[in-house]
């Protein structure tokens, strides 16, 4: 395996991860097609995701805006 094979594999893996993340975001958004406030189903999905991959990763994955904490 030469360097080009490694780069193309890396690119392929990143593309696969990006597509999987987009699929999960679409699923999350489809849980509340009307939009507005987050639905109970969306909250439950986000909580389960946070338990498995962490809060910050879930926030990034689902594009949930972070609340600004002022000290």
Q: Is the pLDDT of residue 4 over 60?
A: no
pLDDT (0 to 100) of residue 30: 95
Say what angle helices 3-30 and 40-53 make with each other, to 10 degrees.
150
Provide the percentage of residues in the chain whose pLDDT is more than 70: 82
Residue 66: pLDDT band with limits 50, 70, 90: low
Q: How many CB atoms lie within 10 A of CB 39?
A: 14
CA angle (55 as vertex; 14, 37 as ends), nearest 5: 100
Domain positions in the chain are 3-61
Residue 54 DSSP symbol: -
Over residues 16-38, the pLDDT tens digits come to 999 999 999 999 999 999 988 89
pLDDT over threshold 70, residue 2 = no
């Amino acid at each position: 395996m030469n360097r080009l094979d490694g780069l193309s594999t890396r690119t392929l893996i990143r593309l696969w991860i990006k597509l999987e993340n987009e699929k999960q975001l679409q699923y999350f958004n489809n849980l509340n097609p009307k939009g507005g406030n987050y639905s109970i189903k969306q909250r439950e999905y986000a909580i389960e995701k946070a338990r498995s991959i962490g809060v910050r990763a879930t926030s990034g994955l689902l594009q949930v805006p972070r609340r600004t904490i002022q000290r």
